[in-house]
Amino acid sequence: MFELVVLDSALRMATPLIFAALGGIFSERSGVINIALEGILLTGAFASVVVTYYTGDPWAGAFAGVFAGMLISLIHAIVSIVFRADQIVSGVAINLLAMGATQFLTWIIWGSSANSPPVQGMAHWGLPESWGAIARGVNAVIGHYPPLVYIALASVVVAQVVLFRTPFGLRLRATGEHPEAVDTLGVSVVRMRFSGVLLSGALAGLGGAFLALNTHQFVKNMSAGRGYIALAAMIFGKWNPIGALGACLLFGYAEAVQMGLQGRDVPTQFVQMIPYVLTMVALVGVIGRARPPAAIGKPY
């Protein structure tokens, strides 16, 4: 279970979770529940494959994922911030919309009800081989992950700094706790919440892009509950980027173990439950102590 290949796969499995969980943190810290992470992941995955398919450039695909994620989260923002609708209902609607729309468009574009043709993934980052043995050594250690894995890890650090060390982060956190206070100080609650939700769309969209580009194709409903697991990781990590990273790595590890165990003597159905059971166990273990932003879910 601790073979290198499992740990390696754990990090890859964790990457979309990390992006989505960071997204969830920005949204929920601003006071907007974002259960739509699931749908945003799926939309990001789909958009990235479409653009990569037509341009042949996975980086363009990744940007498309970010853009699509922001676009669909804009719906969530408008519905729940401007029209003050129930945020859970809006999120569920977006998830259903994303599921149906991506499947429908897959059929329109590629004539398949299940998946897209394969597309190119991202080239791994590394030093030029011509630099000699040292470059090859470095590449062997850190060079065999897709670039988005590093970007995910860097995003965690950036998110932590933004949330806790910048005026924007302070305002965002205050908005999720006590929007009236923020309003009376002349800071726009609406603007802060839009920022939180759109950032969340961008990050989760990028997570979706990684998910698809890492498997080199779009498969229908390929988010497979990862948005919800990311939400769990966010709660598990107490709405802190670093904490969420730890939880994502744990869930990623569970998923990798699950994949490693498939084909062995354990019945697949049980093996496939591992990440979800772990999610529930983790939540039950900490839910009493985790304190969500006080004004979460309340329209202002």
Partner 1 sequence: MAGGPAIEMRGITKRYPRVVANDRVDLEVADGEIHAIVGENGAGKSTLMKVLYGLTPADAGVIRLKGKKLEKHRPADAIRAGLGMVHQHFMLVDTLTVAENVILGEEPRRNGVLIDAAAARERVESLSAEYGFELDPAEYIENLSVGLEQRVEIVKVLYRGADVLILDEPTGVLTPQEVKELFVILRALRNSGRTIVFITHKLDEVIELADRVTVMRDGRVAGVVEASATTKEELARMMVGRDVLLRVSKDVAAPGPTVLEVAGLTAVGRKGREVLSGIDFEIRAGEVLGIAGVQGNGQTELVEVITGLRKAAGGRVFLNATDITNRSPRQIRDLGVAHVPEDRQARGLVLGFTIAENIALGRHHREPYSRHGHLRLDAMREHAAELIDENDLKPRDPDAEARHLSGGNQQKLIVAREFDCEPSLLVASQPTRGVDIGAIEFVHQSLLGMRDAGAAVLLVSAELSEIMTLADRIIVMYGGRIVAAFDGGSVSEEELGVFMTGAGGGGGAGAGEGAGEAGRAGTPDGTGAPEAMH
Question: Distance between CA atoms of 143 and 200, rounded to whole angstroms?
Answer: 28
Of 64, 70, 60, 58, which is closest to residue 46 (Cα–Cα)? 64
Looking at the Cβ atoms of 182 and 274, the one nearer to partner 1 is 182
Instruction: Name the nearest CA neighbour of 65 among 145, 151, 124.
Output: 151
Q: At its nearest, how many Å lie between partner 1 and the CB of residue 244? A: 17
- Which of 59/168 has CB closer to partner 1? 168
b/e 167-197 (16+ beta carbons within 10 angstroms → b):
eebebbbbbbbebeebeeeebebeebbbbbb
Residue 291 Cβ vs partner 1, minimum distance, rounded to whole Å? 8
Judged by CB, which is closer to partner 1: 7, or 170?
A: 170
Q: How far is the CB of 295 from partner 1 (least distance, A)?
A: 10
Do 147 and 124 meet the contact criterion of CB atoms below 8 Å apart?
yes
- Rounded Cα–Cα distance for residues 190 and 196 (Å): 10
- The residue (of 153 and 162) whose beta carbon lies closer to partner 1 is 162
Nearer to partner 1, 199 or 249 (CB): 199
Q: What is the C-alpha separation between 91 and 147, in angstroms, rounded?
A: 30
CB of 153 to partner 1, least distance (A): 21
Shortest spacing between CB 192 and partner 1, in angstroms: 11
Cβ at position 164, least distance to partner 1 in Å:
9
- Taking alpha carbons only, the member of 157, 292, 297 closest to residue 232 is 292
The helix (run of H) or strand (run of E) holding residue 240 is none
Write the burial class of residue 165 (CB in 10 Å: 0-12 exposed, 13-18 middle, 19+ buried). exposed
State the minimum distance, in angstroms, from the CB of residue 165 to partner 1.
5
Question: Taking the complex as a whole, how short is the minimal distance between the CB of residue 243 and partner 1, in angstroms?
Answer: 15
Three-class secondary structure of residue 255 per DSSP: helix
- Contact of 279 with 37, CB cutoff 8 Å: no
Residue ranges in contact with partner 1 by CB under 8 A: 161, 165-167, 170-171, 173-174, 177-178, 180-187, 291, 294
Closest by CA position to 204, among listed 9, 14, 22, 12: 22
Closer residue to partner 1, CB minimum distance, 57 or 183: 183
Q: In sequence order, which residues have a C-beta less than 8 Å from that of residue 109 and are 6 or more positions away?
A: 50, 116
Residues 234, 25: contact at Cβ < 8 Å? yes
Q: Which is nearer to partner 1, 57 or 177 (CB)?
A: 177
Instruction: Choose between 68 and 174: whose C-beta lies nearer to partner 1.
Output: 174
Other beta carbons within 10 angstroms of residue 289's beta carbon come to 7
